[in-house]
Amino acid sequence: MKLLLDTHAFLWWIADDSRLSSRAAAVIADGENEVWVSAASAWEIAIKSGLGRLEVPDPVDRFVPAQLRANGFLSLPISLRHALATSDLPDGNRDPFDRMLAAQAITEELTLVTGDRALQGLPVTWEW
């Protein structure tokens, strides 16, 4: 399975946070699965960290790449194709990070790992 982690799933995995469901933890831990983290999540972490709404132990520009390497996760850049695919999504969820993650999951045929009900309502394959 090819997975795309929602931002909270990425952060909760790193922190070994109990809010990460046992099913989500199992699919992330399964060495047979490819695990991707979007540049949109890195961007969201950078913004929230800069606003003081999220605390990370190191500067964001070191923290995110170090965690990708430490966990064997792959980095998914944002492409023009991804950006344009957001226009095909229903209007219910207006969060730009959620919309980008959904568009990337659909475009790249990835299973989105998310506990966010708003994302689960979009036409995307998901696990939680």
Per-residue pLDDT, 95: 86
CATH class of 2-127: alpha beta
pLDDT tens for residues 7-54?
999 999 999 999 999 999 999 999 999 999 999 999 999 999 999 999
3-class SS string, 82-121: HHHHHHHCCCCCCCHHHHHHHHHHHHHCCEEECCCHHHHC
The pTM of the full predicted model, rounded to 2 decimals, is 0.94
DSSP β-bridge partners for residue 34:
2
| DSSP of 18-71 | TTS-HHHHHHHH-TTSEEEEEHHHHHHHHHHHHTTSS--SS-HHHHHHHHHHHH
Task: Name residue 112's beta-bridge partners.
Answer: 4, 126
Give the separation between CA 113 and CA 125, rounded to whole angstroms.
Answer: 9
Residue pLDDT, tens place only, 64-113: 999 999 999 999 999 999 999 999 998 777 889 999 999 999 999 999 99
Residues 63 and 118: their CA atoms lie apart, in Å, by 27
- Contact between 85 and 107 (Cβ < 8 Å): yes
